[in-house]
């Protein structure tokens, strides 16, 4: 089942760091072209991204890896329309979003993107259903429709029986699934997950990754940022970053996340780096 | 995001910190309560002043005779009798704006009962006097026109005199008192009138027919009226007209040449009342300004707590921004929160203010006067305070960078 979905991802694997900057890349969902991001603190200039190009097609499950300081978080912020590139262009679903105002970026996030964070970032003392409704409120959806869609989203992540629970009444894995429900409730084009398993134990991590794989199979594009190779195993494509550059970019046969599998199982099967698309380095 | 949702989010945030919200609004509460109470007290005091002057007699004019001028020493009004009894009759009968007129001949004399004596202000007057002064008779009746014509020795006592001569709640009607050696029969007791605005006891007085006063006290009825004439105009609006009508009449009757000084003086009590009212107004304005300052201080309290709230909820702001809240959404959320706090404070303040005003009105027996526009203005002003002082924290929240906000610990 997971295998079937790998097809388009493999086909979409485009070499990026080859540096052939320039024209829009047709109908890529995410098209980042020669993007730099420079932070200036005092006299010191830090090039967090140094000419990164990346195309992601519909239906890909891409993991961006790298150690801290590699620029993966900065890339994530730009892809997530939380930040704007210093130079270069970013087209999301064919639309240039690299020079939008703060309000326009907010609307873009609301319509096209869903976020999942390491620390879950749910509103405290607010029920699961209301947390999931949040993007719909800013999207101007009426309250009945909001409720209906929030319930559907929570059922999709297996929390249909936890609608009125507050975050502090839920386990870490459940909280992260609420966050995923919130990310998908607005039917976004892309889900951006920033270290979504970073605060979870390995068993719960697999559960959460299984949810992501389900979403991926249903056609949602997922961009995952992680520094854990184990987690990247579940993606169909892995991009490695270092010092603001894309180091390697390869497609792979994703490992199937089986909920309930033990941590040892995860470690064991993660050891041999197998998969057809391995090794498409720059 | 529509205003109702924004309001709901704001109220929820407020109810999460009930005590803090209450303490925050306390400044506004006290400010508004003070404004309402002060304005009500001011209005009550004003009404009391008006009442005091009404007690003196509404639309009252007092005509005093003119002054002498011998060898350059001017004797002041009243030092020479220039008013005649015919002047009094003319004023009473010929001026259309005059409702009633009564002479007032006054002297401090000892009034003696069988047991006690008491020196009081004895006024010789006509029955109209009680109408002009709005002064009903509590026991018995006033003397009549017949008493005036025949110079009967009858007397109406003020309540204080009754207390002194017979003790409180005694009914002296029918008893006999003496003024000097002349016996008078008590025919009535004037109702208790209380104190004047200057603290003078109205009830420390006795009244006899002016004819009797002239013949027995002043030693005979002459051409001149040795006292003053009290006049009631037909209404408050015609008081000034009555004043000028009487001036014209008296100048004509006294043959005062054009450009010459009046040989009499007319005091218009409504003017004095107006000056008193102005004093009260100034006081009210002063008190209300102090209260308004405390409202502004309340606004600073709201700003302070909103800044704390924005800092505390930085991560929440980040989450909201990440899922699509525009800067304007965040701005209005915090602005409406500040507004809700200040308006709630305003409404609680109105309740407190009305309570305090009601208590004070009952305590000092003032009329309870709370103007609806004062309530509207003070609630409106507290809303304004919320917007003005909530704007900066809300603006600060809306300017947060979503990435920093999400990382905020």
What is the distance in angstroms between the Cα of B363 and the nearest Cα belonging to chain A? 48
Helix or strand or coil: residue B307?
A: helix
Q: Please give the full DSSP string across B391-406, using - where no structure is assigned.
A: HHHHHHHHT--HHHHH
**Residue A139 contacts B where some CB pair is shorter than 8 Å:** yes
How far is A7 from A3, CA to CA, in rounded Å?
8
Residue A8 has pLDDT above 80, yes or no: no
Of A213-222, A273-282, B252-261, B384-393, the poorest mean pLDDT is in A273-282
How far is B301 from B25, CA to CA, in rounded Å?
8
Contact indicator for A74, A49 with CB cutoff of 8 Å: yes
Please give the pLDDT value at position B205.
92
Of A152-161, A218-227, A260-269, B149-158, the poorest mean pLDDT is in A260-269
Please give the pLDDT value at position B154.
94
Q: Which residues of B touch A121 (CB under 8 A)?
A: 315, 318-319, 322, 406
Of A60-69, A161-170, B43-52, the poorest mean pLDDT is in B43-52
Could you tell me the residue ranges of all domains in chain A? 2-13+28-104+113-121+190-270
Contacting residues for B253 by C-beta, under 8 A, at least 6 apart? B86, B87, B90
Closest Cβ opposite residue A103 in set B316, B320, B326: B326
**Residue B141 contacts A where some CB pair is shorter than 8 Å:** no
Quote the tokens at residue B81. Answer: 């009798």
How far is B390 from B306, CA to CA, in rounded Å?
7
Task: Write out the H or E segment, with its range, that includes residue A107.
Answer: helix A102-112
Residues of chain B with pLDDT under 70: 1, 54-58, 67-80, 197-198
As a whole number, mean pLDDT of residues A48-68 equals 93
How far is A123 from A113, CA to CA, in rounded Å?
19
Q: Which residues of B touch A82 (CB under 8 A)?
A: 322, 402-403, 406
Residue A19 has pLDDT above 60, yes or no: no
Q: Which fold has domain A2-13+28-104+113-121+190-270?
A: Rossmann fold (3.40.50)
Give the whole-number percent of chain A exceeding pLDDT 70.
Answer: 83
Q: What is the mean pLDDT of chain A?
A: 84
Cβ distance A106 to B319 less than 8 Å, yes or no, reads no
To test the contact with chain B by mutation, choose from A79, A137, A153 the residue with the greatest count of B C-beta atoms within 10 A, namely A137
Task: Write out the H or E segment, with its range, that includes residue A49.
Answer: strand A44-56
How far is B218 from B213, CA to CA, in rounded Å?
6
Largest CA distance in chain A: 54
Burial of A67 per CB tally in 10 Å (0-12, 13-18, 19+): exposed
Please give the pLDDT value at position B56.
67
Spell out the long-range contacts of B168-175 with Cβ–Cβ below 8 A and sequence spacing 24 or more: B171/B139, B172/B113, B172/B139, B173/B139, B173/B140, B175/B113, B175/B114
To test the contact with chain A by mutation, choose from B324, B397, B402 the residue with the greatest count of A C-beta atoms within 10 A, namely B324
Task: Write out the H or E segment, with its range, that includes residue A31.
Answer: strand A30-41
Residue A83's closest chain B neighbor by CA?
Answer: B403
Please give the pLDDT value at position B223.
83
**Residue B320 contacts A where some CB pair is shorter than 8 Å:** yes
Partner B, chain A 95-124, Cβ-Cβ below 8 Å: 102-103, 106-107, 109-111, 115, 117, 121-123
Helix or strand or coil: residue A252?
A: coil
Q: Please give the full DSSP string across B208-273, using - where no structure is assigned.
A: EEHHHHHHHTSSS--SB--SEEEEEESSSTTHHHHHHHHHHHHHHHTTPPTTPPPSEEEEEHHHHH
Residue A14 has pLDDT above 70, yes or no: no
- Match 């009243």 to its residue by tokens: B78
Quote the tokens at residue B11. Answer: 């109220």
- The distance from CA B367 to its chain's CA centroid, rounded to whole angstroms, is 9
For residue B66, CA distances in Å to B76, B121, B309, B311 come to 7, 22, 76, 79
Residue A277 has pLDDT above 70, yes or no: no
Largest CA distance in chain B: 105
Phi then psi for residue B246, to 5 deg, are -70, -40
How far is A176 from A193, CA to CA, in rounded Å?
11
Please give the pLDDT value at position B219.
81
Please give the pLDDT value at position A273.
41
CB pairs under 8 A between A and B: 59
Q: Which residues of B touch A107 (CB under 8 A)?
A: 324, 326
Cβ distance B323 to A107 less than 8 Å, yes or no, reads no
What is the distance in angstroms between the Cα of A117 and the nearest Cα belonging to chain B? 9
Please give the pLDDT value at position A21.
38
Helix or strand or coil: residue B116?
A: coil
Residue A133's closest chain B neighbor by CA?
Answer: B323
How far is B214 from B125, CA to CA, in rounded Å?
10
Residue B328's closest chain A neighbor by CA?
Answer: A103
Length of chain A: 282
Please give the pLDDT value at position B38.
82
Question: Each residue of A65-118: pLDDT tens digit?
Answer: 998 889 998 999 999 999 999 999 999 998 999 889 999 999 999 999 999 999
Contact indicator for A194, A212 with CB cutoff of 8 Å: no
- Strands A44-56, A30-41: pairing is antiparallel
Instruction: Give the pLDDT band (50/70/90) at residue A5.
Output: very low
Partner B, chain A 177-216, Cβ-Cβ below 8 Å: 182, 186
What is the distance in angstroms between the Cα of A187 and the nearest Cα belonging to chain B? 12
Quote the tokens at residue B204. Answer: 């420390």
Predicted TM-score (pTM) of the model is 0.70
- Strands B182-190, B137-140: pairing is antiparallel
Q: How many alpha carbons fall within 13 Å on the CB side of residue B55?
A: 19
Q: Which residues of B touch A115 (CB under 8 A)?
A: 322-323
Burial of B272 per CB tally in 10 Å (0-12, 13-18, 19+): middle
Phi then psi for residue B46, to 5 deg, are -60, -45
**Residue B316 contacts A where some CB pair is shorter than 8 Å:** yes
Please give the pLDDT value at position B90.
92
What is the rounded (10 degree) CA torsion for A42, A43, A48, A51? Answer: 140
**Residue A11 contacts B where some CB pair is shorter than 8 Å:** no
Helix or strand or coil: residue A268?
A: helix
**Residue B5 contacts A where some CB pair is shorter than 8 Å:** yes
Contact indicator for B27, B304 with CB cutoff of 8 Å: no
Residue B409's closest chain A neighbor by CA?
Answer: A119
Quote the tokens at residue A129. Answer: 């259903």
CA-based end-to-end distance of chain B: 27
To test the contact with chain B by mutation, choose from A97, A138, A149, A186 the residue with the greatest count of B C-beta atoms within 10 A, namely A138
Cβ distance B323 to A138 less than 8 Å, yes or no, reads yes
**Residue B324 contacts A where some CB pair is shorter than 8 Å:** yes
Q: Which residues of B touch A77 (CB under 8 A)?
A: 403
Residue A196 has pLDDT above 90, yes or no: yes
Cβ distance A138 to B322 less than 8 Å, yes or no, reads no
- The distance from CA B197 to its chain's CA centroid, rounded to whole angstroms, is 10
How far is A272 from A51, CA to CA, in rounded Å?
32
How far is A27 from B208, CA to CA, in rounded Å?
114
Cβ distance B327 to A111 less than 8 Å, yes or no, reads no
Quote the tokens at residue A179. Answer: 């966050």
Contacting residues for A91 by C-beta, under 8 A, at least 6 apart? A24, A28, A30, A31, A33, A97
Contact indicator for A151, A204 with CB cutoff of 8 Å: no
Contacting residues for B331 by C-beta, under 8 A, at least 6 apart? B394, B395, B397, B398
């Amino acid at each position: 089942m997971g295998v079937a979905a790998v097809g388009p991802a493999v086909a979409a694997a485009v070499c990026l760091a080859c540096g052939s900057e320039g024209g829009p890349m047709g109908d890529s969902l995410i098209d980042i072209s020669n993007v730099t991001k420079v932070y200036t603190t005092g006299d010191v200039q830090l090039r967090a991204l140094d000419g990164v190009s990346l195309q992601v097609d519909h239906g890909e499950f891409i993991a961006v890896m790298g150690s801290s300081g590699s620029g993966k978080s900065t890339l994530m912020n730009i892809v997530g329309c939380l930040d704007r590139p210093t130079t270069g262009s970013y087209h999301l679903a064919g639309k240039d979003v690299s020079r939008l105002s703060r309000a326009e970026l907010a609307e873009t996030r609301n319509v096209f993107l869903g976020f999942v964070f390491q620390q879950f970032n749910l509103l405290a003392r607010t029920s699961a259903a209301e947390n999931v409704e949040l993007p719909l409120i800013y999207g101007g959806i009426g309250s009945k429709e909001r409720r209906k869609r929030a319930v559907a989203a929570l059922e999709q992540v297996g929390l249909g029986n936890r609608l009125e629970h507050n975050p502090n009444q839920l386990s870490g894995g459940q909280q992260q699934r609420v966050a995923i429900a919130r990310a998908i409730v607005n039917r976004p084009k892309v889900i951006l997950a920033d270290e979504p398993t970073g605060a979870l134990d390995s068993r719960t991590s697999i559960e959460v990754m299984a949810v992501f794989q389900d979403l991926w199979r249903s056609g949602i594009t997922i961009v995952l940022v992680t520094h854990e190779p184990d987690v990247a195993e579940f993606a169909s494509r892995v991009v490695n970053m270092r010092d603001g550059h894309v180091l390697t970019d390869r497609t792979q046969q994703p490992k199937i996340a089986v909920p309930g599998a033990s941590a040892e199982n995860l470690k064991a099967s993660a050891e041999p780096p197998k998969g057809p698309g391995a090794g498409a380095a720059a | 995001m529509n205003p109702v949702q924004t309001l709901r989010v704001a109220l929820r945030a407020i109810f999460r910190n009930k005590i803090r919200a209450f303490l925050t609004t306390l400044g506004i509460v006290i400010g508004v309560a003070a404004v309402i109470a002060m304005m009500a007290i001011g209005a009550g005091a004003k009404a009391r002043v008006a009442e005091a002057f009404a007690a003196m007699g509404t639309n009252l004019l007092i005509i005093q005779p003119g002054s002498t001028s011998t060898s350059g020493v001017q004797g002041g009004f009243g030092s020479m009798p220039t008013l005649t009894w015919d002047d009094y009759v003319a004023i009473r009968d010929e001026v259309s704006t005059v409702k009633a007129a009564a002479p007032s001949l006054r002297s401090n004399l000892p009034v003696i009962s069988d047991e006690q004596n008491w020196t009081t202000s004895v006024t010789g007057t006509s029955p109209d006097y009680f109408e002009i002064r709005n002064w009903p008779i509590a026991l018995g009746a006033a003397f009549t026109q017949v008493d005036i014509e025949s110079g009967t020795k009858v007397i109406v006592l003020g309540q204080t005199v009754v207390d002194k001569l017979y003790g409180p709640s005694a009914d002296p009607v029918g008893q006999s008192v003496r003024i000097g050696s002349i016996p008078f029969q008590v025919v009535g007791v004037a109702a208790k009138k209380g104190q004047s605005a200057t603290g003078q006891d109205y009830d420390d007085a006795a009244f006899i027919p002016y004819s009797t006063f002239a013949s027995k006290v002043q030693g005979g009825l002459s051409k001149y009226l040795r006292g003053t004439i009290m006049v009631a105009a037909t209404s408050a609006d015609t008081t000034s007209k009555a004043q000028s009508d009487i001036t014209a009449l008296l100048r004509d009757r006294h043959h005062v040449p054009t450009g010459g000084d009046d040989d009499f003086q007319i005091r218009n009590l409504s003017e004095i009342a107006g000056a008193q009212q102005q004093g009260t107004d100034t006081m009210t304005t002063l008190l209300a300004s102090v209260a308004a300052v405390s409202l502004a201080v309340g606004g600073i309290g709201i700003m302070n707590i909103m800044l704390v709230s924005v800092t505390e909820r930085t991560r929440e702001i980040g989450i909201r921004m990440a899922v699509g809240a525009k800067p304007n959404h965040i701005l209005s959320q915090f602005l409406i929160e500040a507004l809700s706090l200040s308006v709630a404070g305003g409404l609680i303040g109105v309740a407190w203010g009305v309570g305090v005003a009601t208590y004070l009105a009952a305590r000092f027996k003032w009329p309870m006067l709370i103007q609806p526009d004062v309530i509207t203005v003070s609630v409106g002003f507290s809303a304004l305070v919320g917007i003005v002082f909530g704007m900066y924290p809300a603006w600060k929240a809306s300017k947060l960078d979503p990435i920093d906000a999400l990382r905020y610990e």
